[in-house]
Chain A
């Protein structure tokens, strides 16, 4: 965690920017960074199924507050605009955002972050819920990421009958291609992923010799970081954030 002193200067810039995403499409992204010359490590945040919402903006700023260049691309950009929940409902009704589109948007965002003159060149990826699944998927399908955090990503281990045209391949099948260390945070009461599915994923990571660190919290279900929902678990969330920042600090520092 960032160590603050009461006499230190602190500044941050946070704004919406345009970036190049999948297939060169222009999409918008929320970007926050500490003021100063850097160099800073970067974290790319992949938003969850409820959309490109206030919580993701908040944690984008939280990463900047902790010394990271942070950007959250709007992976629902192509579905139109409105309130985050209206857009997310449209995506939900359309069968979800295509995996290829998300991976392409992440690739574009990584390029943007690395191109910045105040970047240290290291980029991590983070996501919760469907974004956790996407973080794992991106870390497998893209080369050059430095760390990945999957928070309770469901449908990484998924039976064939649940595959869809938008999500045609179980992400676990890409495990051999995982290109960076992975941190997984899960709750033992979650129904997707279940404890068994987490164990299956961890076994696959071990089989392929992939560096990983999994933590499963007791008395926590899906989304235990979400302070605005009944799923919030204060003690588990505080510890999860500590582990998450320690992990990124280990792999993204200059």
Chain B
């Protein structure tokens, strides 16, 4: 099925694609058909830079279970960073923008 489910967010940071590192400005998170993963539906994450065109994309297609593990890993890592570094995490985020 084509769910059409997509959530987008503006982000700051860098990603590494086939042509090396590039600046990211948006992430699109969808739950829909994968292009490659061998499941009918997957959690798809596309990190992009609009100015660079469709080809500059960091893409992953995860099973729902894997996507939840990723969310947990990200939140755990962020929490540990905040505990260890404190407000510096916020400062680092601001410096990236």
Give bound CA distance, A48 to B4, whole Å.
12
Which residue of chain B has the shortest Cβ distance to A193 in the bound complex? B1
- Given contact pairs A85-B35, A92-B32, A93-B8, A154 touches B55 in the complex (Cβ within 8 A): no
**Partner-contacting stretch, out of A34-42, A74-82, A242-250:** A74-82
A95 x B6 contact (CB < 8 A): yes
B contact residues, total (Cβ < 8 Å): 24
Residues of A within 8 A of B57 (CB): 86, 89-90
Interface: B74 (CB within 8 A): no
Residues of B within 8 A of A154 (CB): 1-2
Interface: A192 (CB within 8 A): yes
Query: B interface, by DSSP: helix, strand, loop or mixed?
Result: loop
**For chain B residues 26-67, which have a beta carbon within 8 Å of chain A?**
26, 28, 30, 32-33, 35-36, 38-40, 44, 46, 48, 53-55, 57, 59
Residues of A within 8 A of B36 (CB): 85
Residues of B within 8 A of A82 (CB): 53-55
Residues of B within 8 A of A162 (CB): 4
Which residue of chain B has the shortest Cβ distance to A130 in the bound complex? B2
Interface: A221 (CB within 8 A): yes
Which residue from B28, B30, B38, B54 sits with its C-beta under 8 Å from A86? Answer: B54
Residues of B within 8 A of A96 (CB): 4
Interface: B94 (CB within 8 A): no
Most chain B C-beta atoms within 10 Å of own C-beta, residue among A86, A96, A164, A222: A86
Interface: A111 (CB within 8 A): no
- In the assembled complex, the CB of B25 is this many whole angstroms from the nearest CB of chain A, namely 12
B35 x A92 contact (CB < 8 A): no
Give bound CA distance, A87 to B26, whole Å.
15
- In the assembled complex, the CB of A24 is this many whole angstroms from the nearest CB of chain B, namely 24
Residues of B within 8 A of A167 (CB): 4
Interface: A27 (CB within 8 A): no
Give bound CA distance, A153 to B34, whole Å.
17
Please name the 9 residue pairs, one residue from A and one from B, whose CB atoms are nearest each other, closest first.
A192-B1, A93-B28, A82-B55, A82-B54, A85-B35, A90-B54, A86-B54, A87-B54, A222-B1
Seen from chain A, the residues whose Cβ lies within 8 Å of a Cβ on chain B are 48-50, 79-83, 85-90, 92-93, 95-96, 129-130, 133, 154-155, 162, 164, 167, 190-193, 221-223, 229-231
Seen from chain B, the residues whose Cβ lies within 8 Å of a Cβ on chain A are 1-4, 6, 8, 26, 28, 30, 32-33, 35-36, 38-40, 44, 46, 48, 53-55, 57, 59
